[in-house]
C-alpha cells in the first residue's frame, strides 16, 4: 500500500503540474444500486481518477443500470458507446464458459479462496477481454451466494416448480437441476419481480437481498456459501491506448486502490447485510444437512459440466487453484 500511495501522489502531482490538456468526461455505466458496495467503490474510483488526473479525465458513474442495463454494458464499452463500465464477469458465460470460473458451486466458497481462484483465472480472463477490445482495470467479489425463498425449504424436492430468478448461465442451470423454473432478471429489477410473483426465489448474496429489500416479499435466506462471483471494471482498449502514460499510471493506481477497498468492503458488508435481512424480518441461517448434501451433489455435476465446456484452459485454472 505504501508503494501505491507514493505512486498515486507522484502521478497526481505530475498530472496537475502539467499544462491543462483537453478535459475528457468518461461516463461509467454500472448495473447495481447506488447504495451497493460495488457502486460505492466505483464512485470512489471515479473521484480518485478525476482528482489524480487534475480533471483531465473526469469519470461520472451511472449506477442502477440507468445508462445501460447490466446485460448491455460490455457491448456498449466494446463499441465505444461508453469508455468505461462495470459488469458481472460471469454474465459473459454464454459467450465463453471460461467467464464462469467464479460460479462453479462449492469450488471457492470463502473470500480467501475466491482471491486464489481469481489469481489462477486472471491471465485467461485478461486475454479473453483483450481479444474483445477491452482492458481489465479491477475486479471485486460479491459476498458468498445463498438461497432465498418465500417459504421454508429443507430439501431439493421442496424446490420443485418454484419460479427462480437467475443472473447468469450457472444460476439458470442450478434452477434446472433443482427442478425450479429459471427466469433471468437484472438485480435492479428484482424487488418488483418478487412483489409481483414473477419469481419467488433466487441465489445471491445477502448484499443484493439487502439492497433490494427483498424481505418485503421473501422470508428465508439459507447461507449456502455456494460461490463468490465477481464484478469487474473494464475500459475500451482503443480509448485506453490514447490515454497519456501519466494518466494511465493514475488510473492503474486508483484501480489498485479500488480493488483493495472493494474487497475490504465486501467482507464488511457480508455480516452487516445478513443482519439487515434479519432486521427486515427474514429467517437467516444455514441450510438443512439434507439440502446441503443434495446441493453439493448438484455442485459436482455442474463442476464436471463446466470442465467439459471450458476445456484445457478451464482445467488448468482449477488445477492451479487446487495446487495453491
Ligand atoms: N448479486 C448480484 C450478482 C451476485 C450477487 O450477489 C445479483 O444478484 O445480480
Span 183-203, pLDDT tens digits: 999 999 999 999 999 999 999
Mean of per-residue pLDDT scores for the chain: 95
135-177 per-position pLDDT tens digit? 999 999 999 999 999 999 999 999 999 999 999 999 999 999 9
250-287 per-position pLDDT tens digit? 999 999 999 999 999 999 999 999 999 999 999 999 99
The least confident of 3-17, 27-41, 310-324 is 3-17
Q: What percent of the chain has pLDDT over 70?
A: 94
Atom of ligand 1 nearest to the CA of 205: 6
C-alpha cell at 283: 429467517
How does residue 8 score in pLDDT terms, banded at 50, 70 and 90?
Answer: low
Cα distance between residue 123 and residue 136, in whole Å = 10
pLDDT score of 7: 52
How remote is the CA of residue 237 from the centroid of ligand 1, in Å?
A: 27
How remote is the CA of residue 252 from the centroid of ligand 1, in Å?
A: 26
Is the predicted pLDDT of residue 20 greater than 80, yes or no? no
How does residue 1 score in pLDDT terms, banded at 50, 70 and 90?
Answer: very low
Closest Cα to atom 6 of ligand 1: 205
Element (H, E) at 277: helix 245-279
Atom of ligand 1 nearest to the CA of 207: 6
Q: Tell me the average pLDDT across 101-129.
A: 98
Q: Tell me the average pLDDT across 105-124.
A: 98
Contact yes or no for 105/227 (Cβ under 8 A): yes
How remote is the CA of residue 238 from the centroid of ligand 1, in Å?
A: 30
CB 245: neighbour CB atoms within 10 A? Answer: 9
How remote is the CA of residue 318 from the centroid of ligand 1, in Å?
A: 23
- Which is nearest to 299 in space by CA: 142, 108, 151? 108
How remote is the CA of residue 17 from the centroid of ligand 1, in Å?
A: 42
Is the predicted pLDDT of residue 71 greater than 60, yes or no? yes
Domains assigned to the chain: 2-142+229-272 (3.40.190.170), 146-226+281-322 (3.40.190.170)
- Which is nearest to 320 in space by CA: 80, 116, 60? 116
The residue ranges of DSSP E strands in the chain, in sequence order, are 24-29, 57-62, 84-88, 134-141, 146-149, 163-166, 181-184, 201-204, 220-222, 230-236, 283-285
203-212 per-position pLDDT tens digit? 999 999 999 9
How remote is the CA of residue 161 from the centroid of ligand 1, in Å?
A: 22
Q: What percent of the chain has pLDDT over 90?
A: 93
Cα distance between residue 230 and residue 238, in whole Å = 24
Residue 199 phi/psi, 5° resolution?
A: -145, 155
The least confident of 1-10, 73-82, 137-146, 300-309 is 1-10
Cα distance between residue 31 and residue 173, in whole Å = 22
With a Cβ cut-off of 6 Å, ligand 1 is lined by 88, 142, 167, 187, 204-205, 207-208, 229
Is the predicted pLDDT of residue 25 greater than 60, yes or no? yes
Atom of ligand 1 nearest to the CA of 187: 9
Residue 27 phi/psi, 5° resolution?
A: -80, 135
Atom of ligand 1 nearest to the CA of 165: 8
Q: Tell me the average pLDDT across 105-131.
A: 98
Cα distance between residue 214 and residue 220, in whole Å = 10
Cα distance between residue 125 and residue 230, in whole Å = 12
Report CA-CA distances (Å) from 273 to 24, 37, 83, 212, 277.
37, 11, 32, 11, 6
Closest Cα to atom 9 of ligand 1: 187
Cα-Cα-Cα-Cα dihedral sign, residues 223, 229, 233, 236: negative
Closest Cα to atom 7 of ligand 1: 187
pTM for this structure? 0.93
Amino acid at each position: 500500500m505504501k508503494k501505491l500511495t507514493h505512486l498515486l501522489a507522484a502521478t497526481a502531482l505530475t498530472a496537475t503540474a502539467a499544462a491543462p490538456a483537453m478535459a475528457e468526461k468518461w461516463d461509467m455505466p454500472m448495473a447495481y444500486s447506488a447504495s451497493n458496495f460495488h457502486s460505492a467503490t466505483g464512485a470512489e474510483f471515479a473521484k480518485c481518477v478525476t482528482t489524480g488526473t487534475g480533471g483531465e479525465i473526469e469519470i461520472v458513474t451511472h449506477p442502477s443500470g440507468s445508462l445501460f442495463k447490466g446485460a448491455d454494458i460490455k457491448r456498449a464499452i466494446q463499441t465505444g458507446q461508453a469508455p468505461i463500465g462495470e459488469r458481472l464477469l460471469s454474465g459473459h458465460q454464454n459467450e465463453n464458459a471460461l467467464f464462469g470460473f467464479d460460479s462453479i458451486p462449492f469450488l471457492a466458497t470463502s473470500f480467501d479462496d475466491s482471491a486464489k481462484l481469481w489469481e489462477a483465472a486472471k491471465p485467461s480472463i485478461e486475454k479473453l477481454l483483450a481479444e474483445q477490445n477491452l482492458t481489465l482495470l479491477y475486479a471485486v467479489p460479491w459476498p458468498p451466494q445463498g438461497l432465498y425463498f418465500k417459504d421454508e425449504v429443507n430439501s431439493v424436492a421442496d424446490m420443485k416448480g418454484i419460479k427462480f430468478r437467475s443472473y447468469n448461465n450457472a444460476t439458470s442451470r442450478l434452477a434446472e437441476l433443482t427442478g425450479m423454473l429459471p427466469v433471468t432478471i437484472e438485480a435492479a429489477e428484482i424487488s418488483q419481480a418478487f412483489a409481483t410473483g414473477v419469481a419467488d426465489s433466487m441465489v445471491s448474496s445477502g448484499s443484493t437481498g439487502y439492497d433490494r429489500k427483498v424481505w418485503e416479499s421473501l422470508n428465508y435466506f439459507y447461507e449456502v456459501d455456494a460461490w463468490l462471483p465477481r464484478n469487474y471494471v473494464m475500459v475500451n482498449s482503443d480509448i485506453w491506448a490514447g490515454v497519456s502514460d501519466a494518466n494511465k499510471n493514475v488510473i492503474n493506481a486508483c484501480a489498485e486502490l479500488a480493488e483493495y477497498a472493494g474487497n475490504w468492503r465486501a467482507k464488511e458488508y457480508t455480516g452487516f447485510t445478513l443482519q439487515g435481512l434479519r432486521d427486515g424480518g427474514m429467517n437467516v441461517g444455514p441450510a438443512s444437512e439434507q439440502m446441503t448434501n443434495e446441493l453439493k451433489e448438484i455442485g459436482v455435476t455442474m463442476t464436471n459440466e463446466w470442465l467439459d465446456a471450458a476445456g484445457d484452459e478451464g482445467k488448468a485454472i482449477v488445477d492451479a487453484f487446487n495446487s495453491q
